[in-house]
Chain A
Amino acid sequence: MRFTLMLSFIFSFSTLWGEVGAIKLITPIPSTIYHEETASVVVTFVSPLIDGVIISAESNQSSKIIRQKERNSYCKTVQLAPGENKITVSGFGKDGTIENISVLIFHDIVSEKIYKYPPEKYMEESFHTPTNERFCSSCHKMEVNEIPKIAFENPADSNCFQCHQKLTTRKYGHAPAINWLCTSCHEIKKELGDSKFTLPSMIGKTCLKCHDKESQKWETKRFHHMPVDSEKCTRCHNPHSSENKFYLKAKPWDICTSCHIDKREGKHVINTFGNKNHPTRDKPDPSRPGKEIECISCHNPHASDSASLIDAKSPMSICIKCHKK
Chain B
Amino acid sequence: MIKKHGTKTIIFLLLLIGTVALYQVDAGKKFGRFITVMKDISIKVLNGEPEQIVEISDDELAEVNVRQIASDLEGKKRGESEAEHTPAAPTKIPRDEIRAEERPTHTKTMIKEAKLIDLKDIPAKLKPLKKYMHEPFKMGACQICHIPKGDNPAALVKNNIHEICYECHKTKYTKEFDHKPVKDGQCTKCHDPHQSDTPKLLKGISVNDTCLKCHDKVNGAKGVTKFITMNGKYKHKPAEKSCLECHDPHTSNYKTLMKKEVGLEFCLDCHSSIKDHKDMRKWINSAKYKHGAVDDSKGKCLECHDPHSSNHPNILKKDSVQVCLECHNKSLKSKEDGGTMMNIAQHLKENPNWHKPIKEADSKDGGCNACHDAHGSDNFSILKKSFTKNFYADLENKDFFCFKCHKETKITERFTTNSDVTKFRDGDINLHYLHVNDKKGRSCRACHDEHASKNKHLIRDYTDFNSIKFPLRFIDGPNGGSCAPACHKKFEYDRSTPKGIGQKDSK
User: Could you list which residues of chain A lie within 8 angstroms of chain B, going by C-beta atoms?
Assistant: 149-153, 171, 173, 175-176, 178-179, 181, 184, 209-210, 213, 290
Does A151 contact B471, Cβ atoms closer than 8 Å? yes
Does B465 contact A150, Cβ atoms closer than 8 Å? no
Does B504 contact A151, Cβ atoms closer than 8 Å? no
Would you call B95 an interface residue if the criterion is a C-beta within 8 Å of the partner chain's C-beta atoms?
A: no
Interchain residue pairs with CB less than 8 A apart (22): A149-B467, A149-B468, A149-B469, A150-B462, A150-B469, A151-B468, A151-B469, A151-B471, A151-B486, A152-B471, A173-B489, A175-B468, A176-B468, A176-B486, A178-B486, A178-B489, A179-B471, A179-B486, A181-B468, A209-B466, A213-B392, A290-B505
Which residues of the partner chain B approach A152 to less than 8 Å between Cβ atoms? 471
Does B486 contact A290, Cβ atoms closer than 8 Å? no
Expressed in whole angstroms, the Cα–Cα distance for A175 and B489 within the complex equals 10
Expressed in whole angstroms, the Cα–Cα distance for A165 and B455 within the complex equals 29
Which residues of the partner chain A approach B470 to less than 8 Å between Cβ atoms? 151, 175, 179
Would you call B332 an interface residue if the criterion is a C-beta within 8 Å of the partner chain's C-beta atoms?
A: no
**Chain B CB within 10 Å, residue with most, of A150, A152, A175, A213:** A175
Who on chain B is nearest to A241 by CB? B489
**Chain A CB within 10 Å, residue with most, of B392, B470, B489:** B470
Expressed in whole angstroms, the Cα–Cα distance for A60 and B487 within the complex equals 37
**Chain A CB within 10 Å, residue with most, of B468, B504, B505:** B468
Which residues of the partner chain A approach B465 to less than 8 Å between Cβ atoms? 175, 210
Does A184 contact B489, Cβ atoms closer than 8 Å? no
Which residues of the partner chain A approach B466 to less than 8 Å between Cβ atoms? 209-210
Does A151 contact B462, Cβ atoms closer than 8 Å? yes
Expressed in whole angstroms, the Cα–Cα distance for A173 and B489 within the complex equals 8
Which residues of the partner chain B approach A151 to less than 8 Å between Cβ atoms? 462, 468-471, 486
Chain B nearest CB, measured from A200 CB (Å): 16
Who on chain B is nearest to A178 by CB? B486
Expressed in whole angstroms, the Cα–Cα distance for A209 and B392 within the complex equals 16
Chain B nearest CB, measured from A53 CB (Å): 36
Expressed in whole angstroms, the Cα–Cα distance for A290 and B506 within the complex equals 9
Does B469 contact A175, Cβ atoms closer than 8 Å? no
Does A175 contact B504, Cβ atoms closer than 8 Å? no
Chain B interface size, as a band, is 10 to 19
Would you call B385 an interface residue if the criterion is a C-beta within 8 Å of the partner chain's C-beta atoms?
A: no
Does A175 contact B462, Cβ atoms closer than 8 Å? no
Who on chain A is nearest to B473 by CB? A153
Which residues of the partner chain A approach B125 to less than 8 Å between Cβ atoms? none
Would you call B298 an interface residue if the criterion is a C-beta within 8 Å of the partner chain's C-beta atoms?
A: no
Number of A-B contacts (CB under 8 A): 39
Expressed in whole angstroms, the Cα–Cα distance for A266 and B507 within the complex equals 31
Chain A nearest CB, measured from B465 CB (Å): 7
Does A290 contact B467, Cβ atoms closer than 8 Å? no
Identify which of A153, A209, A210, A213 contacts B471 (C-beta below 8 A).
A153
Identify which of A153, A171, A290 contacts B507 (C-beta below 8 A).
A290
**Chain B CB within 10 Å, residue with most, of A151, A181, A184, A290:** A151
Which residues of the partner chain B approach A290 to less than 8 Å between Cβ atoms? 504-505, 507
Chain A nearest CB, measured from B274 CB (Å): 47
Expressed in whole angstroms, the Cα–Cα distance for A184 and B507 within the complex equals 37
Which residues of the partner chain B approach A179 to less than 8 Å between Cβ atoms? 470-471, 486
Which residues of the partner chain A approach B467 to less than 8 Å between Cβ atoms? 149
Chain A nearest CB, measured from B491 CB (Å): 13
Chain A nearest CB, measured from B487 CB (Å): 7
Which residues of the partner chain A approach B469 to less than 8 Å between Cβ atoms? 149-151
Chain B nearest CB, measured from A267 CB (Å): 33
Expressed in whole angstroms, the Cα–Cα distance for A210 and B470 within the complex equals 14
Expressed in whole angstroms, the Cα–Cα distance for A213 and B469 within the complex equals 19
In the complex, the 10 A-B pairs of residues with the closest C-beta atoms, listed nearest first: A175-B486, A210-B466, A150-B469, A151-B470, A149-B468, A179-B486, A153-B471, A151-B471, A179-B470, A149-B469
Chain B nearest CB, measured from A183 CB (Å): 11
Which residues of the partner chain B approach A153 to less than 8 Å between Cβ atoms? 471, 473
Chain B nearest CB, measured from A199 CB (Å): 20
Chain A nearest CB, measured from B463 CB (Å): 10
Chain B nearest CB, measured from A157 CB (Å): 11
Who on chain B is nearest to A290 by CB? B507
Chain B nearest CB, measured from A218 CB (Å): 16
Chain A nearest CB, measured from B247 CB (Å): 54
**Chain A CB within 10 Å, residue with most, of B466, B467, B473, B487:** B466
Which residues of the partner chain A approach B489 to less than 8 Å between Cβ atoms? 171, 173, 178
Over the window 458-483 of chain B, the binary record of Cβ atoms lying under 8 Å from chain A Cβ atoms (1 yes, 0 no) is 00001001111111010000000000
Does B487 contact A175, Cβ atoms closer than 8 Å? yes
Does A184 contact B473, Cβ atoms closer than 8 Å? no
Expressed in whole angstroms, the Cα–Cα distance for A149 and B470 within the complex equals 8
Expressed in whole angstroms, the Cα–Cα distance for A179 and B487 within the complex equals 10
Who on chain B is nearest to A177 by CB? B486
7 A-B pairs besides A176-B486, A178-B489, A290-B507 with CB distance below 8 A are A150-B468, A150-B469, A151-B468, A175-B470, A184-B468, A210-B465, A213-B392
Chain A nearest CB, measured from B96 CB (Å): 65
Which residues of the partner chain A approach B468 to less than 8 Å between Cβ atoms? 149-151, 175-176, 181, 184, 210
Expressed in whole angstroms, the Cα–Cα distance for A209 and B469 within the complex equals 15
Chain B nearest CB, measured from A46 CB (Å): 43
Expressed in whole angstroms, the Cα–Cα distance for A178 and B119 within the complex equals 99
Who on chain A is nearest to B467 by CB? A149
Which residues of the partner chain B approach A171 to less than 8 Å between Cβ atoms? 489
Which residues of the partner chain B approach A184 to less than 8 Å between Cβ atoms? 468
Chain A nearest CB, measured from B351 CB (Å): 16
Expressed in whole angstroms, the Cα–Cα distance for A300 and B27 within the complex equals 107
Expressed in whole angstroms, the Cα–Cα distance for A176 and B487 within the complex equals 10
Expressed in whole angstroms, the Cα–Cα distance for A150 and B507 within the complex equals 36
Chain A nearest CB, measured from B390 CB (Å): 9
Who on chain A is nearest to B469 by CB? A150
Over the window 147-183 of chain B, the binary record of Cβ atoms lying under 8 Å from chain A Cβ atoms (1 yes, 0 no) is 0000000000000000000000000000000000000
Expressed in whole angstroms, the Cα–Cα distance for A71 and B297 within the complex equals 69
Expressed in whole angstroms, the Cα–Cα distance for A150 and B462 within the complex equals 8
Who on chain A is nearest to B468 by CB? A149
Chain A nearest CB, measured from B321 CB (Å): 28
Chain B nearest CB, measured from A69 CB (Å): 40
Chain B nearest CB, measured from A135 CB (Å): 31
Chain A nearest CB, measured from B505 CB (Å): 8
Who on chain A is nearest to B465 by CB? A175
Who on chain A is nearest to B466 by CB? A210
